[in-house]
């Protein structure tokens, strides 16, 4: 029934509620700048009334809960948008690094200028007489430097891209390690939250910590979550479970032999008998997916483009250079390339040279032993034409036999211990190679200008670097004959295939940097768009969970008034009790 003592407890309930409200408000104000903190509010409900003959009489107020202001669905959207933003931001950062390396800010500093200088040097040499004049020798020295610089720029560019891909691996490994740490902490918090809430205790702070970890996780890879009735959260990555209640499943990395030993990302349960699942191509959003994308697509494409440039440069230059002659006459040439087995047909897997050999013939020009010259003083050559029939299963060994048969006593060919070829003139003679429709000379590495076979190892031939007189600018060494130098200078208009299409040597740099710029520009556009979406969604979430100084001051004032009013109410009831007990005379004493 309603009495003075019951009335006191009504006031006490108001005082208690006000104290809790002030305490929660103070906690909010203390955590205004705390990361991942969600504003808390006091949920007040009317106590169940007391029913009397005079009707229902209220008994005060109860604190039903201290509620955490949060929107799980909106938070999931924020995580996804942030994951998308960080994906493009990470791509943009890596592409920017690659582009800055190749973007030539200073004249003469990069690949574009190296290509231009290389072909200009050949052009200059073609305008000089193939003799021992200081002008000719100077131009040969300039060409050596230009060719050496070009080869170095290609090698260094390829290596820089490979180093950048390796840096992507380091980032991926670090992010995978971080994910495993985060999922372990989430699993631990799941247990603590379930335990606390099972005993009726709010776990607001623990949930804040867990949501903060989920935010961190989404920065590294796109995730989805499912909140269970017991308060635990399950976390999924593209269909695979990362966290299930109190259990965390691990990600791991392995070297992929099919991708230059770069890392692949694997998912595995905690069952020791389970086999890891390759998630590399399935990763979406976040830093890891961005690094995988840049590493295995953009950067790999740029490497492939440099490879195409180097291979075509080596092939076309050496094809022409092999059939020419330098200032120093040679009596012997040894090829730089080899086959696995010289007895297998050319172009077969076992008998193949670095470049395919075609049906046709090549010429070996042999000076006469007597050193006869024509009326203009040019050497007279005895030309031997060697025919190759790949379609009839010619092997390296049979081609050498043909050279020996045709060469007679003037030229011989032999197979070296490392399966390279040596072609040698008889004593007192020297040789030069003429027209080659088979590519045999270029394929065997005879009289090469460049060594190597790709962007990794392209280099100026060591003998030419040491002696520029060996540059085969002439076809036969006749006065005024710069045919080979002119042919090589005109290679700048030759087209070759890249990842995205055909391009000429002279246009390669523009194409190459254009591809980089396009990829960087696209990533920047998506970065700006996704950043805007993330900020908008995050603003909406912060309007729900964020602490407002003005709102908390209002709440503080309200709870202060509530405390004061209920305190005065208790004083009034206390005075009534005092009157009842002490002011009704002595009858009751």
**Structure confidence by residue, pLDDT tens digits, 366-408:** 876 555 555 555 556 678 888 989 877 899 999 999 999 988 7
For the chain, percent helix, then strand, then coil, each to nearest 5?
55, 20, 30
Which of 64, 46, 51, 55 shows the shortest CA–CA distance to 10? Answer: 46
Is residue 499 included in any domain, yes or no?
A: no
Q: List strands edge to edge, sheet with 240-244.
A: 224-227, 233-237, 240-244, 247-248
pTM of the model: 0.86
Residue 86 lies in a domain: no
Are 332 and 200 contained in the same domain?
no
Q: Which domain holds residue 325?
A: 106-164+301-493
Do 329 and 439 belong together in one domain? yes
Q: Up-side HSE of residue 180: CA atoms within 13 Å toward CB?
A: 15
Joined tokens for residue 214: 């989920």
Residue 338 in domain: yes
Domains of the chain: total: 3
Using the 3D structure, point to which of 232, 262, 289 is the last residue of a domain: 289
Q: Which has the closest alpha carbon to 81: 235, 281, 218?
A: 218
* In a shared domain, residues 447 and 367: yes
Q: Establish if 155 belongs to a structural domain.
A: yes
Q: For residue 103, with 0-12 CB atoms within 10 Å meaning exposed, 13-18 middle and 19 or more buried, which class applies?
A: middle
Q: Which two tokens stand for residue 25?
A: 């408000």
Q: Residue 254's beta-bridge partner residues?
A: 264
Rounded CA-CA distance 510/229 in Å is 59
- HSE toward the beta carbon, residue 470, CA cutoff 13 A: 19
Q: Both 267 and 353 in a single domain?
A: no
Chain mean position to CA 541: 32
Q: Report yes or no on 502 lying in a domain.
A: no
Shared-domain flag, residues 383 and 439: yes
Decide: 562 and 21 in contact? Cβ < 8 Å: yes
Reported residue count of the chain is 589
Q: Which residue has the tokens 């039903």?
A: 64
Q: What is the pLDDT of residue 109?
A: 58
Yes or no: say if 265 and 251 are a contact pair by the CB < 8 Å rule: yes
Please tell me whether residues 222 and 152 are part of one structural domain: no
Residue 145: per-residue pLDDT: 96
pLDDT score recorded for residue 50 = 79
d(CA 206, CA 529): 33
- Which CB contacts under 8 angstroms, 24+ apart, belong to 250-258? 250/180, 250/183, 251/176, 251/179, 251/180, 251/279, 252/176, 252/276, 253/172, 253/173, 253/176, 256/280
* Residue 238 · residue 222 · CB < 8 Å: yes
Q: Is residue 250 located within the same domain as residue 364?
A: no
**Distance from C-alpha of 548 to C-alpha of 32, rounded to nearest angstrom:** 8
Instruction: Indicate whether 389 and 456 sit together in one domain.
Output: yes
**Looking at the structure, do residues 134 and 203 belong to the same domain, yes or no?**
no
Both 272 and 417 in a single domain?
A: no
Instruction: Provide the token pair at 139.
Output: 């131009």
Q: Spell out the alpha helix ranges (H) of 447-498.
A: 462-466, 483-489
Give the end of a domain, one of 227, 262, 289: 289
- Measured between alpha carbons, how far is residue 206 from residues 225, 291, 508 in Å? 17, 32, 57
Asked whether residue 212 falls in the same domain as residue 333, the answer is: no
Q: What DSSP designation does 92 have?
A: H
Residues 424, 275 share a domain: no
Last residue of a domain, which of 447, 476, 493? Answer: 493
Q: Residue by residue, what is the 3-state secondary structure of 305-348? A: HHHHHHHHHHHHHHHHHCCCECCCCECEEECCCCCCCCCCECCC
> Is residue 98 situated within a structural domain?
no
Low-confidence ranges of the chain (pLDDT < 50): 1, 106-108, 588
Helix axes 134-198, 204-220, angle to 10 degrees: 160
User: How many CB atoms within 10 Å of residue 55?
Assistant: 9
Query: In this structure, is residue 401 part of a structural domain?
Result: yes
Contact at 8 Å (CB) between 118 and 173? no
The predicted pLDDT at position 579 comes to 82
Q: Is 430 inside a domain boundary?
A: yes
The pLDDT of residue 1: 42
Question: Cβ(488)–Cβ(118) under 8 Å?
Answer: no
**E strand or H helix at 381:** strand 381-388
User: What tokens does 320 get?
Assistant: 């022409």
């Amino acid at each position: 029934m309603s009495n003075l003592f019951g009335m006191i407890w009504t006031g006490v309930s108001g005082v208690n509620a006000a104290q809790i409200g002030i305490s929660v408000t103070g906690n909010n104000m203390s955590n205004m700048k705390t990361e991942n903190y969600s504003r808390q509010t006091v949920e007040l409900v009317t106590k169940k009334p007391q029913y009397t003959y005079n009707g229902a009489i209220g008994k005060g107020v109860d604190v039903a809960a201290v509620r955490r202001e949060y929107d799980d669905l909106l938070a999931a959207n924020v995580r996804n948008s942030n994951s998308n933003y960080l994906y493009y931001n990470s791509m943009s950062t890596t592409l920017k690094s690659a582009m800055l390396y190749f973007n030539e800010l200073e004249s003469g500093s990069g690949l574009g200028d190296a290509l231009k200088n290389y072909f200009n040097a050949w052009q200059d040499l073609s305008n000089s007489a193939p003799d021992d004049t200081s002008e000719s020798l100077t131009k040969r020295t300039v060409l050596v430097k230009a060719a050496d610089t070009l080869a170095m720029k290609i090698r260094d560019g390829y290596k820089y891209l490979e180093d950048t891909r390796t840096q992507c691996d380091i980032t991926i490994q670090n992010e995978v390690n971080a994910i495993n740490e985060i999922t372990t902490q989430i699993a631990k918090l799941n247990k603590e939250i379930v335990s606390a809430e099972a005993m009726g205790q709010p776990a607001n702070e623990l949930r804040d910590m867990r949501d903060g970890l989920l935010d961190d996780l989404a920065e590294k890879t796109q995730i989805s979550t499912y909140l269970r009735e017991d308060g635990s959260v399950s976390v999924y990555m593209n269909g695979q479970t990362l966290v299930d209640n109190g259990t965390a499943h691990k990600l791991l990395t392995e070297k992929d032999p099919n991708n230059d030993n770069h890392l692949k990302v694997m998912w595995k349960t905690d069952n020791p008998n389970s086999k890891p699942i390759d998630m590399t191509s399935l990763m979406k959003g976040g830093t890891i997916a961005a690094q995988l994308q840049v590493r295995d697509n953009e950067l790999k494409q740029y490497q492939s483009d440099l490879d195409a440039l180097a291979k075509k440069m080596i092939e076309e230059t050496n094809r022409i250079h092999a059939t020419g002659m330098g200032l120093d006459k040679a009596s012997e040439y040894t090829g730089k390339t080899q086959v696995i087995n010289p007895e297998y047909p050319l172009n077969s897997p076992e008998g193949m040279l670095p470049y395919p050999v075609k049906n046709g013939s090549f010429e070996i020009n042999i000076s006469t032993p007597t050193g006869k010259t024509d009326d203009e003083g040019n050497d007279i050559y005895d030309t031997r034409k060697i025919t190759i029939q790949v379609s009839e299963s010619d092997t390296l060994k049979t081609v050498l036999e043909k050279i020996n048969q045709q060469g007679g006593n003037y030229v011989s060919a032999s197979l070296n211990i490392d399966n390279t070829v040596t072609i040698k003139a008889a004593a007192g003679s020297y040789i030069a190679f003429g027209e080659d429709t088979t590519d045999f000379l270029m394929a065997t590495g005879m009289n090469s200008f460049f060594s190597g076979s790709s962007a990794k190892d392209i280099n100026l031939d060591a003998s030419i670097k040491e002696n520029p007189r060996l540059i085969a600018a002439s076809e036969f060494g006749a006065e005024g004959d710069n045919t080979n130098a002119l042919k090589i200078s005109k290679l700048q208009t030759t087209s070759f295939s890249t990842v995205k299409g055909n391009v000429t040597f002279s246009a390669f740099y523009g194409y190459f940097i254009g591809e980089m710029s396009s990829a960087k520009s696209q990533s920047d556009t998506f970065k700006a768009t996704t950043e805007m979406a993330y900020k908008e969604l995050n603003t909406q979430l912060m309007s729900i969970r964020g602490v407002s100084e003005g709102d908390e001051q209002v709440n503080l004032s309200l709870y202060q008034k509530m405390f004061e009013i209920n305190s005065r109410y208790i004083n009034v009831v206390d005075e009534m009790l005092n009157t009842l007990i002490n002011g009704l005379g002595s009858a009751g004493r």
